[in-house]
């Protein structure tokens, strides 16, 4: 699939998106959905690494997650938990 911005085919695939943790340690950028957002200790977070594709001509950056289905399921669980709490009047 060509670049969405300029139509170029000069794309760099599988680009890692790096975040920096303590002591400047490089880590893969991740997204996270908490299945139990109100929980103090165990929020049952589902994380997904972010991967990118960069256009070699215009530099346009597209970002993806590896396993979007896992985030969908986590969000469904979270929404069910919230609805149940609301029904229980919490
Ligand atoms: Zn481009």
pLDDT tens digit at each of 90 positions of the chain = 899 999 999 999 999 999 988 888 999 999 999 988 777 777 789 999 999 999 999 999 999 998 999 999 999 999 998 898 889 886
> 13 alpha carbon to ligand 1 midpoint, in Å?
13
- Eight-class DSSP state of 23: G
In a domain, residue 3? The reply is no
- Eight-class DSSP state of 22: G
In a domain, residue 2? The reply is no
> 10 alpha carbon to ligand 1 midpoint, in Å?
8
Residue 39 has what pLDDT?
A: 74
**Residue 18 near residue 29 (C-beta atoms within 8 A):** yes
In a domain, residue 89? The reply is no
In a domain, residue 22? The reply is yes
> 64 alpha carbon to ligand 1 midpoint, in Å?
17
For residue 86, report the phi and psi dihedrals to the nearest 5 degrees. Answer: -65, -45
Residue 81 has what pLDDT?
A: 87
Residue 90 has what pLDDT?
A: 66
> 65 alpha carbon to ligand 1 midpoint, in Å?
20
Q: What are 5's two structure tokens? A: 């911005």
Domain boundaries, position 63: 11-84
Full-model pTM: 0.74
> 53 alpha carbon to ligand 1 midpoint, in Å?
10
For residue 22, report the phi and psi dihedrals to the nearest 5 degrees. Answer: -55, 145
> 47 alpha carbon to ligand 1 midpoint, in Å?
29
For 89, how many CA atoms within 13 A lie in the half-sphere containing its CB? 0
In a domain, residue 5? The reply is no
In a domain, residue 74? The reply is yes
Name the domain count of the chain.
Answer: 1
């Amino acid at each position: 699939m060509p670049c969405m911005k300029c139509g170029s085919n000069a794309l760099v695939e599988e680009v890692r998106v790096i975040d920096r943790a303590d002591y400047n340690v490089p880590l893969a950028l991740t997204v996270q959905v908490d299945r139990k957002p109100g929980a103090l200790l165990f929020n049952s977070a589902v994380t997904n690494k972010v991967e990118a594709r960069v256009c070699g001509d215009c530099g346009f950056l597209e970002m993806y997650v590896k396993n979007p289905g896992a985030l969908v399921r986590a969000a469904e669980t979270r929404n069910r938990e919230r609805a149940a709490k609301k029904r229980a009047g919490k």
